[in-house]
Structure 1
């Protein structure tokens, strides 16, 4: 394979994917509406076709005019979009759908492809773009991939867990990087041992390419850091990457209530551990970046950006009230 069509491709995971494909000598065509700045506009091996992925005739026009071996579907958020794409690009050597670890419905440790149950998706959920239905919609997209493979389409799914890294517009990690940079004492919810599996964006990009080149039709592949960290450890990695010394202060629900807060107000907190097996992907030759290297790159991008995560986590004034209560105990 040496030609790829990327549906999306200018933000976060898609941007890392295009960089990775270029590093592996692919010619890339981006298909999107052109509403975001294109960081590859001047690259001689990246073309752009403008269109709306929700409009079938736009996809069909791309399929007829673009030279591609593999199709990477980065921005499919409704199962109907996946159903359309696997039909339009049925002749591709590989169709790879970016799903999510949120597709899993059973809370088990770890979550394994083909064993752990997926979330159901009602017809109403299938077209509801609210965050509450995200996992259900991704699961339904997975099922569309599986069905297409039965009809001879080499369609596959990649399920990242929570993704972090440079260009992360969700700002979940930026919140913690800003905290360890600005304050000596950093408030972490719970006892600091909660685990929510994370994946470094360039590693997700590598997974997508390897699945396209070596994966099996009708299969799903989890992707996440091979070494997991607790939230407290993650904050420590952020401090090391920012070159700061901090005191991590943990607080339970009762203490957090003093600031009108709850544990789920903090980004990357999850009450029950979310862990996914990555053995199946590793069998394709995939490896993950070391945590220290991944966080150093993430921190470097954070410094150059204007992101501070202030919109995705508690106000410092509320945290200070909690810290004050803890100091009196």
Structure 2
């Protein structure tokens, strides 16, 4: 008899890939969500959907009783209370895996290591706040709840992804850069192009969640990210190679950007101080990451098939053209 998996979420981005990975490894899968987004598995005989709100304890308890899963992958636990309820309801499963975040780390260290790098504190106010500023503290508090549950015998673990990219990415962060490469010969990159923000290919995040559920140690956290990191300029070059096109990367410092009333932070995926996660602990479980060229080829192909353009993150091409004009006069 196949193992059963319950995926809380399961239709948008990471959760969608989790379901596909579980199916590829012969799990019987149930997804639990409110139905606010189109279900890509509606016609899939091996995926059952249970409708409910994970923040409604009655709904979640009903799902736990009806599915009786062997493992649970929790994709949409955004508040500490979500995790607290889940580790109680799923206290007898073989593996409960909470998706935390690299944002849970409080210290700027290179690299950030599980069990060594300090986590964010979380106040009572932050625990219920839904702002971006409280995201890291809320995720860190969820980690601590997982650790406490494991001490009480619950097979609970957490996975901390960095910036996730790949097919079906509704955040469109990478889509902005793909769109630039596909449509312009010259792409403005802030600074010297050497800034480093660790990214994780979504299929690798999905496989990490399954591997941790199967092989992880209760009470442990596992970082996940590409095993080979690339700078922002190298990322743009990877996009160009995957798209089989050429583009010129143009570096723009703060002075040149300021001429167009821009700053480096106006460019999505730019980060001044490097954000790097150590992934050795996850790799020791047998997890592997997709080669970057292959990951980018899939990401570019999906972008071309979608209507995503990353325009939400666009600093303005007219402003970029002014920057290019300034640089051309130097």
Q: Which bin holds the TM-score, normalised by the shorter protein?
A: over 0.9
2:242, 2:209 → 1: CA distance?
27
1:115, 1:321 → 2: CA distance?
45
What residue in structure 1 maps to residue 50 of structure 2?
49
What residue in structure 1 maps to residue 159 of structure 2?
158
TM-score, length-normalised on structure 1?
0.99
1:259, 1:239 → 2: CA distance?
26
What residue in structure 2 maps to residue 234 of structure 1?
235
SS at structure 2 position matched to 1:191:
coil
List, as ranges, runs of 4+ consecutive aligned residues in structure 1 with deviation greater than 4 Å. none
What residue in structure 2 maps to residue 297 of structure 1?
298
Counterpart mapping for 1:22-37 below 5 A: 22-37=23-38
- After TM superposition, give the deviation of residue 91 of structure 1 in Å: 1.1
- After TM superposition, give the deviation of residue 64 of structure 1 in Å: 1.1
What residue in structure 2 maps to residue 218 of structure 1?
219
TM-score, length-normalised on structure 2?
0.99
What residue in structure 2 maps to residue 83 of structure 1?
84
Counterpart mapping for 1:312-323 below 5 A: 312-323=313-324
1:261, 1:171 → 2: CA distance?
20
SS at structure 2 position matched to 1:297:
helix
> Which runs of no fewer than 5 residues in structure 2 stay unpaired?
none
Counterpart mapping for 1:60-75 below 5 A: 60-75=61-76
2:104, 2:225 → 1: CA distance?
14
What residue in structure 2 maps to residue 180 of structure 1?
181
1:313, 1:2 → 2: CA distance?
44
- After TM superposition, give the deviation of residue 48 of structure 1 in Å: 0.5
- After TM superposition, give the deviation of residue 67 of structure 1 in Å: 3.2
1:35, 1:108 → 2: CA distance?
38
1:305, 1:323 → 2: CA distance?
29
1:318, 1:2 → 2: CA distance?
54
- After TM superposition, give the deviation of residue 260 of structure 1 in Å: 1.1
What residue in structure 2 maps to residue 132 of structure 1?
133
SS at structure 2 position matched to 1:39:
coil
2:313, 2:46 → 1: CA distance?
36
SS at structure 2 position matched to 1:166:
coil
2:15, 2:66 → 1: CA distance?
21
SS at structure 1 position matched to 2:44:
coil
RMSD: 0.7
Q: What's the CA shift string for 1:113-157, capped at 9, x where partnerless?
A: 000000111111111111111111110110110011011100000
> Which runs of no fewer than 5 residues in structure 1 stay unpaired?
none
